[in-house]
């Protein structure tokens, strides 16, 4: 989103600097660019939320179809041979259910923490872009000190070029987190580190 729009603002500056007078239509163009930026930002947030909604479902599927059977198999191997498995099954299920639910809850909580972190990053980037758009519109209206303000806006908008969030890498990091049956604390730490790297 930001990378696309950052090319539009410099074009507007170029247009302004090459004209002796600023056409009234330039203000309309600035408003249209600002509205498009908001629309694209909303789409990005919506896509991110949908991605995480799907990953929440993937966690439940993993716990139900992969982790629970493996956990039960390992648990059964620890049961002494003289124990009546069928008779003790209710007690066994009562003992392991909290552990399974705890792992699921920890995974879901870690996932939500990363979703909030990424949405915050998108909001922060959009805030910078929105401020630049507002200042550009003000410059078009006032046409005062254009050269000085132009450089400041260039630096703000161009600074966003390396701040995009790669949704593919986000999804890959989450997938690795979901299918890792190892220590949950380490899994959460690895997920947090991976998302941190993507938001630098």
Rg (CA), the chain: 26
3-state secondary structure 101-139: HHHHHHHHHHHHHHHHHHHHHHHHHHHHHHHHHHHHHHH
pLDDT above 90 as % of the chain: 28
Q: Please state the rounded mean pLDDT for residues 46-71.
A: 94
Structural domains counted in the chain: 1
Mean pLDDT across 135-141: 75
Instruction: Give the domain range for residue 66.
Output: 2-198
Q: How far is CA 130 from CA 22, 30, 39, 133, 144, in A?
A: 22, 11, 12, 5, 20
Q: What is the pLDDT of residue 172?
A: 86
Higher per-residue confidence, 166 vs 46:
46
Question: What digits encode the pLDDT tens for the residues 62-121?
Answer: 999 999 999 888 888 887 877 777 777 788 788 889 999 999 999 999 999 999 999 999
Residue 85, token pair as written in the block = 């498995």
How high does pLDDT run on average in the chain? 79
Q: What whole-number distance in Å separates Cα of residue 44 and Cα of residue 179?
A: 26
Of the ranges 13-27, 43-57, 83-97, 125-139, the best mean pLDDT one? 43-57
Q: What is the mean pLDDT of residues 180-193?
A: 86
Contact indicator for 28, 84 with CB cutoff of 8 Å: no
What is the pLDDT, as a whole number, of residue 5? 45
Distance CA 47, CA 70 (A): 33
């Amino acid at each position: 989103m930001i990378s696309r729009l950052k090319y539009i603002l410099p074009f507007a500056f170029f247009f302004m600097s090459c004209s002796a007078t600023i056409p009234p239509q330039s203000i309309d163009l600035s408003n249209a660019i600002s509205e498009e930026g908001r629309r694209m930002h909303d789409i990005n947030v919506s896509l991110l939320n949908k991605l995480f909604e799907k990953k929440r479902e993937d966690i439940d599927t993993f716990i139900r179809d992969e982790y629970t059977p493996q956990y039960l198999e390992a648990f059964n191997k620890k049961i002494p041979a003289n124990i009546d498995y069928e008779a003790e099954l209710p007690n066994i299920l009562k003992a392991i259910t909290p552990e399974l639910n705890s792992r699921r809850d920890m995974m879901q909580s870690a996932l939500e923490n990363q979703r909030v972190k990424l949405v915050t990053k998108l909001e922060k980037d959009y805030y910078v872009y929105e401020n630049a758009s507002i200042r550009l519109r003000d410059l078009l209206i006032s046409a005062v000190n254009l050269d000085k303000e132009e450089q400041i806006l260039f630096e703000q908008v161009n600074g966003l070029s390396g701040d995009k969030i790669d949704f593919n890498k986000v999804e890959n990091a989450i997938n690795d987190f979901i299918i890792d049956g190892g220590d949950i604390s380490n899994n959460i730490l690895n997920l947090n580190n991976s998302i941190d790297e993507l938001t630098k």
